[in-house]
Amino acid sequence: MTDTPSHVEEPGPSDLRSPLAQHEMKRAGVWFAIAVAIALVVVLAQPLLLILGALVLATMMDGGTRLLGRILPIGRGWRLAIVLIGAVLFLAYTVYLTGSSLAAQAQAMRTIVETQVARIGGWMQQLGVTTTPNDLKGLAQQALGSIGRVTKAVGTAVGAITAGVMMLVLAIFIAIEPKLYERGVAWMMPMDRRAHFYRIADKMGGTLRRLMFGRLIGMTVEGVGTWLLLWAGGVPMAGLLGILTGLLAFLPNIGSIISGALIVLVGFSAGTNTGLYAVGVYLAVQIVDGYLIVPMVARRAVDLAPALVLAAQILMGALFGIMGLFLADPLIAMMKVYLEERSRALDAEHRSKKTGVLRS
């Protein structure tokens, strides 16, 4: 006669059929997936930035193609070709017209900035500040020398050119038929999530187009306005300062500070009156762009808090160099759109469940 257990056996923690084991396995899987995702982001940070940069460029190309479609009833491919050819011709003309003179002015500006920084250091030392002129001069040299650095991975000139070409080619492929890649991403999602993805993708695309359009308008206004006003006032290197101001206008907050410092230093190198005039030009251009152009074009469409943008630029710039600075603003804009749309979807789902409960 065999003894039978007086209680019913239940699966233990080592048995995968145990609800406790399944719950713990799910939790461990989530944490493991998060760790793997973080590791992949760290390892693939530079390629991800290049892809994000290509998406931003593709958005700019798509915006120009859509805008051209309002006046030219031709195929999308032809309109995109016109946009690309126009951009290439403009850049080639600018380089051909001002290339040699700008190269000489850039070298002269470097000398002027270093000299002015040394003078400021000597004036501060007379006031009792312990910082020496050599310290400030070395800081200025480091700042000027870091302008050409893109990222740690593409720090050389060859690497920067290669990364730029890859980013441009990828952007062109995406801009030719963006819906194709959008459907490809949606295909990897469950059927019930695809409509939500399409809605978020359309909202992100519209937000980026408005953001980039506003940025290009601001760059044009600041660059051309600075060049004409400085040239009219006899400030040296007006053309180079105008181009630098226009390019740095792509970086809100930080770009205006850098361009303003360059304008003031070069202006005061020609005399006190010229320096004061340069300060007035900088303030006038920033007021026009900040209080007229940006609110009408970009800020109302994107509504990004300046402190949030500045914090993102500091973080992205410290992690990824100048590439991170360029992409901080578009990245924050896309994250904002996603969070807003996600919040609306959750609110709608919550209201739907609440209505169903009340009806039942």
DSSP letter string over 4-60? --SS-----TTSTTSHHHHHHHHHHHHHHHHHHHHHHHHHTHHHHHHHHHHHHHHHH
Q: What is the pLDDT of residues 25-56, one digit of tens each?
A: 778 878 888 888 777 777 777 788 888 888 88
pLDDT of residue 159: 64
> What is the band of 154 on the pLDDT scale with cuts at 50, 70, 90?
very low
pLDDT of residue 213: 81
pLDDT of residue 67: 84
Q: How many angstroms separate the CA atoms of 116 and 234, rounded?
A: 18
For the residues of 137-194, what is the DSSP string, one character each? Answer: HHHHHHHHHTTT---STT-SHHHHHHHHHHHHHHHHHHHH-HHHHHHHHHHTS-HHHH
pLDDT of residue 29: 79
Q: Which residue has the higher pLDDT, 163 or 101?
A: 163
> What is the band of 155 on the pLDDT scale with cuts at 50, 70, 90?
very low
Question: Given a cut of 50, is residue 143 above it in pLDDT?
Answer: no
Q: Whose CA is closest to 146, among 226, 250, 258, 313?
A: 258
pLDDT of residue 160: 65
CB within 8 A of 230, min separation 6: which ones?
238, 241, 242, 263, 267, 278, 281
pLDDT of residue 338: 85
Question: Given a cut of 70, is residue 298 above it in pLDDT?
Answer: no
Q: Which residue has the higher pLDDT, 225 or 1?
A: 225
> What is the band of 149 on the pLDDT scale with cuts at 50, 70, 90?
very low
Question: Given a cut of 50, is residue 191 above it in pLDDT?
Answer: yes
Question: Given a cut of 70, is residue 226 above it in pLDDT?
Answer: yes
pLDDT of residue 4: 55
Average pLDDT, the chain: 76
Q: What is the mean pLDDT of residues 301-316?
A: 75
CB within 8 A of 22, min separation 6: which ones?
16
Q: What is the mean pLDDT of residues 112-118?
A: 71
pLDDT of residue 104: 66
For helices 238-248 and 254-269, what crossing angle results, to 10°?
170
pLDDT of residue 35: 84
Q: Which residue has the higher pLDDT, 185 or 3?
A: 185
pLDDT of residue 340: 83
Q: What is the mean pLDDT of residues 110-139?
A: 65
Question: Given a cut of 60, is residue 3 above it in pLDDT?
Answer: no
Q: Which residue has the higher pLDDT, 109 or 335?
A: 335
pLDDT of residue 295: 60
> What is the band of 301 on the pLDDT scale with cuts at 50, 70, 90?
low
pLDDT of residue 148: 38
Q: What is the pLDDT of residues 238-297, one digit of tens each?
A: 887 888 888 888 776 677 888 888 888 888 887 888 888 888 888 888 887 766 666 665
Q: What is the pTM of this model?
A: 0.69
pLDDT of residue 106: 65
